[in-house]
Chains A and B, each alone.
Chain A
Amino acid sequence: MKKLCTILAIIASVLAIILSVLPVSNLAIFPAIAALVFGILAFYLSKKTGSVKKIIQFTFLLTIIALCLTTYKAIFSEAKVANTEVIEATENKLEEEAIEELEGLEIDDSELEGLEIEE
């Protein structure tokens, strides 16, 4: 049981640290909680039987780093859109092509009769 908890705590804390550096940092909270739960469980079970292994303390360290990183990113990083030049150029190109195409298109005049667009 002690071994299982330690292994699960290690896996969860590593997963938390990986997720926290990725753009999905908010999701790191789930493995971080799991790592804390398994870490505490492993810590008490080890304490009962004798010495506490350094690896359990290390999982706590990793989890705390992951949680700090996630919190920092959630508070200070702002979602921004960049590199839109290409899509803007495509928009203009498509509009020019569309106007040319629409000129040659048979649009039923009766449908558009008396139509005024409010601006």
Chain B
Amino acid sequence: MISLLNNSLTYQKSGENCDMDRQTFAFFGGIYNNYLALAAAIDDANSRGAEKLFCLGDLGAFGPYPDRVFPLLIENDVQTVQGNYDHSIGNGLNDCQCGYTDPRDNHFAQISYDYTLANSSTSNCEWLKQLPTEIRFEVAGLRFLLCHGSPRKTNEFLWESTTSTHFLNRLTDEYQADVILGTHTGLHWSRELSEDRLFVNVGVLGRPANDGQTNVWYTMIEVIQSPGKSQVKLEFIPVEYDWERLVAEMHSEELPVEFQETIRTGWWTTCLEVLPGKERLRGRY
């Protein structure tokens, strides 16, 4: 059973489940070179008892020093899905395949892509190239499917306001999953589906959620198994990190002031054209 409470889907205790087995997982999305936020999120997830850490891709973009992300993922055994950015960097393509339509958005996307490609080591590019495009596992009879954009296309945007519930039901049917987790849009959200199934956009660590706050977000899921049933507790976790240091490093790497402003203010300044109306209205620009 799942139920929604503020930013979390919360398990409702019945008082009868004394023989319960709990497993906790942390899911990170869109790192965008923000190694400082990634390090903070890993520490936070470990402190909350996460047994396994996952990353749903797009390690590069806006931020500085792309190579600083990789040791954190590898040393902490973070199982990682390949995002469109990772596919592009790993294969040395000309752009990030982000799907922007506006010339201004493409201009800024190209700056961060060219910077990331030029500053990624050969061995890290090789590591990106071999990443899987999805990860599946089963816990307590629940089939988890981890992808980047959608199960059917790495760079498909699944926004909260432009994705119908019956479409998500179809995806869970077609891809035989009970819980689908993705990222790619940069905004965290979840939807309860039929037959107690669930879709989750885990959010991103790379930049704030266009809400005027400097923190970033990741997702924790606790699977609770008791005799005869499995339950999911979902929580979106805000992460505070040293964003002032990040901005200083972006400045010293001569990355655009527009990117720095987003980190500093929490409002998106670029890549706005792909936002649906409802999500766009929540932001400043």
Partners in one complex: no
Chain B interface residues (CB < 8 Å from chain A): none
- Using a CB–CB distance below 8 Å, which chain A residues touch chain B? none
